[in-house]
Amino acid sequence: VISVQKSKQIVLLRRPDGPIRKEDFGLEEVPLPPIGDGQFLVRNEYLSLDAGFRQWMNAGASDNYLQEMPLGKPVQSIVLGQVIESRNPRYPVDAWIMGRTAWESFSIADGSDLMSVLEVDADLPPYEYLAALGPAGMTAYFGLFRIGQPKEGDTLLVSAAAGGVGSLVGQLGKIAGCTTIGTSSSAEKCQWLRDELGYDHSVNYRLDVPVSQQVRELAPEGVDVFFDNVGGEMLDQALECLALNARIVLCGAVSQYEKTGKHTGITNLWQLVTKRARAEGFMFSDYVDEYPRAIGELSQWIREGKLRSPVEMTSGIENTADAFCRMLAGKTRGKCLVTV
């Protein structure tokens, strides 16, 4: 039995007011209680930074998926680590596990909350199971292939295309034979989309020219699949660019998570009628039974060099809050992770 005395945690100190700041979080060191029957102790190696968790930091954010995060408690997060002490035979010592615990160096778990034992491929770095082979990869894969149903020759538009999910969606779209257009916030990130991720075109949504106009110039025949990570004004403008029978994948609404009160209203829903289009939401966890097959296919594409898995790694749990704020401010590229 390994005895670990203390765990470092990043706690939510106050409800963020508008754009999140690192001062909204605090670093604490807490003693670890002994584990109980059915529990196990995980040494977290990597923490995942997920834009989606931002909305559950708001007051009154509880919904059918998650509860609002309590103040003074460690911030909920998907983590990847190794079991170092166990009183649960399904989670033996040395097993690699992924689950939803918190921004903390050690987690005590009992197997609930999306906890799974991973069969890590020795040829790939373990953190891939938080990136292309983890939640971001599952979101991109099932969102695009199941909800978006891309066909060869389709035009695929992806918002927040340089992010954890978006950087994979564009590449999967190329594998499916689509022409791809990605949106991002700067000329540098737009160039990175084209040069490094193989996007055919990119759109800088911060320019004075409206996104709808830029997209229509690039895709005069319209967009067949819109994979939307951003919501709000971006979604509204994309609705003006649809092809007949378009599919809109409602993956997230990152432009809305920092708002207090209601999300921005969408004014162009009428476009769904005349374009005979379909908009559908999903959660990546809906497909948990099919993860092994998706992981097999995605890791094969990585090995064949058909899929890049861009990761922006931050070192040290004490830098987690800063990295999360930088990600939401659009200052990062690819999937953002922290090495504990």
Ligand X SMILES: NC(=O)c1ccc[n+]([C@@H]2O[C@H](COP(=O)([O-])OP(=O)(O)OC[C@H]3O[C@@H](n4cnc5c(N)ncnc54)[C@H](OP(=O)(O)O)[C@@H]3O)[C@@H](O)[C@H]2O)c1
Chain residues in the site for ligand X (CB under 6 A): 50-52, 135-136, 139, 160, 162-166, 184-185, 189, 229-230, 234, 251-255, 282-284, 327-328, 330, 332, 336
C-beta closer to ligand X: residue 75 or 160? 160
> Residue 202, exposed/middle/buried by CB under 10 A (0-12, 13-18, 19+)?
buried
C-beta closer to ligand X: residue 147 or 223? 147
C-beta closer to ligand X: residue 160 or 238? 160
Nearest distance in Å: CB 151, ligand X: 22
Q: What angle do CA 23, 26, 28 make, to 5 degrees?
A: 165
Nearest distance in Å: CB 257, ligand X: 7
H or E element at residue 189: helix 187-197
With CA atoms as reference, report the closest residue to 81 among 51, 53, 41.
41
Nearest distance in Å: CB 32, ligand X: 29
Q: Provide the strand spans (E) within 39-126.
A: 40-48, 76-86, 96-102, 106-109, 116-118
Nearest distance in Å: CB 49, ligand X: 7
C-beta closer to ligand X: residue 95 or 211? 211
C-beta closer to ligand X: residue 131 or 277? 131
Nearest distance in Å: CB 132, ligand X: 12
C-beta closer to ligand X: residue 61 or 108? 61
With CA atoms as reference, report the closest residue to 21 among 267, 254, 326, 255.
326
Contacts of residue 14, defined as CB under 8 A and 6 or more positions apart, other chains included, come to 24, 71
C-beta closer to ligand X: residue 99 or 163? 163
Nearest distance in Å: CB 316, ligand X: 20
CA distance 97 to 269: 42
Measuring CA to CA, how many Å separate 71 from each of 9, 28, 77, 99, 231? Answer: 13, 13, 15, 21, 27
* Residue 121 DSSP one-character state: -
Instruction: Name the CA radius of gyration of the chain, rounded.
Output: 20
**Residue 30 corresponds to which tokens in the numbers above?**
């807490």
CA distance 340 to 338: 6
Nearest distance in Å: CB 328, ligand X: 5
